[in-house]
Chains A and B, each alone.
Chain A
Amino acid sequence: MSDINSWIDSEVKSADVVLFMKGTPNFPQCGFSGQVVQILDYIGVDYKGINVLDNDDLRQGIKDYANWPTIPQLYVKGEFVGGCDIIREMFQATELQDHMKTNGITIRQEASA
């Protein structure tokens, strides 16, 4: 396994919820990454944001790792869940919240405003 691949593999498993994104949770630098950050913040889940813009090998490596050509990418318990479209679809169908719960991840979904 290449260096970047084994680094990614360890990062993916370093927290229950890991989001590979452009920018950081506080400063997303892409609309799609920003959408997933908003969804995760709304359902109130703790997650680790990893900025792929920090390192080109990572930016390409993560696409190879998941056989998924775009960023952002969300991982729960080390398993690739989806990119922006899928996370939004799952959220709207409350499947994302269920997926978190079945994986033993607490969500603090605020009451809808």
Chain B
Amino acid sequence: MAMNANDIESMIKAGIPDADITIRDLAGDGDHYAAEIVAESFRGKTRVQQHQMVYQALQGNMGGALHALALQTSAPE
């Protein structure tokens, strides 16, 4: 199983509407992506909490259909 970048982006966007998302396909196998996500709703949250918000938006796909998603999250400067 695998996911494509658009699915990942739209799921994250649905879960974190104010997110500005950049996704890079690391291996071309639908299983290894990197995502940079900037969202005002991350402000004041720890990195762990920010990443958990992203995993929640991915509705259980993380670690299943999606093997690797390197995350970089931050609030806008």
Q: Which residues of A contact B (CB under 8 A)?
A: 32, 63, 67-70, 80-86, 89-90
Contacts and interface: CB of A to CB of B under 8 A. Distances in A.
Interface residues of B, number: 13
Interface stretch (B7-15, B17-25, B65-73): B65-73
A70 B55 CA distance: 10
Contacts of B70: 84-85
Max count, chain B CB within 10 A of own CB: residue among A69, A80, A82: A69
Contacts of B4: none
B71 to A, nearest CB: 5
Contacts of A90: 47
Contact of A86 (B51, B60, B63, B68): B51
B48 interface: yes
Contacts of B72: 85, 89
Contact of B55 (A32, A68, A80, A86): A68
6 contacts: A63-B63, A69-B64, A80-B48, A85-B71, A86-B47, A90-B47
A67 B52 CA distance: 8
A32 B64 CA distance: 16
